[in-house]
Amino acid sequence: MAEGPTPDQDDGHGEWHGVPFDVRAPTVARNKSRYWNRDDPRFFTPKVYGAGWTVNVYWLTHLVTYFRRRGKGANKP
C-alpha cells in the first residue's frame, strides 16, 4: 500500500516513499531558504514546488567552505 499523508494531515508538503514533495504556492521566503541558504548544511534541498530535490546554490558557489564544514561536522561558519 502506498505511504503518504492521510487526509487529516495533508497540508501540501511531506515525503512520499522518501522523496520530498511540496505543492503549496511558492513564496519568496521558501525560495530563498531552498536555493540560497548558508544555514542549511544540505547541498541538495527539497524543491520549492513539485517533487524531488534542488541545489542549494549558496554551497555550489562556496564549495571550499562546504567541504570544510562537512569535514568538521560543524553547523557554524
Judge whether 21 lies within some domain. Answer: yes
- Phi-psi group of 74: left, alpha or beta (phi > 0 → left; psi -120 to 50 → alpha; rest → beta): beta
User: Domain of 62?
Assistant: 17-72
Per the structure, the count of domains in the chain is 1
Instruction: Give a yes or no: residue 8 inside a domain.
Output: no
User: Does some domain include residue 28?
Assistant: yes
Q: Is pLDDT larger for residue 28 or for residue 6?
A: 28
The whole-number pLDDT of residue 11 equals 84
pLDDT digits (tens, 9 = 90+) for 14-70: 999 999 999 999 999 999 999 999 999 899 999 999 999 999 999 999 988 888 888
* Inside any domain, residue 2: no
Residue 19 phi, psi (nearest 5) = -105, 125
Domain assignment present for residue 67? The answer is yes
Determine, yes or no, domain membership for 24. yes
Question: Is residue 46 situated within a structural domain?
Answer: yes
Query: Does residue 9 sit within a domain?
Result: no
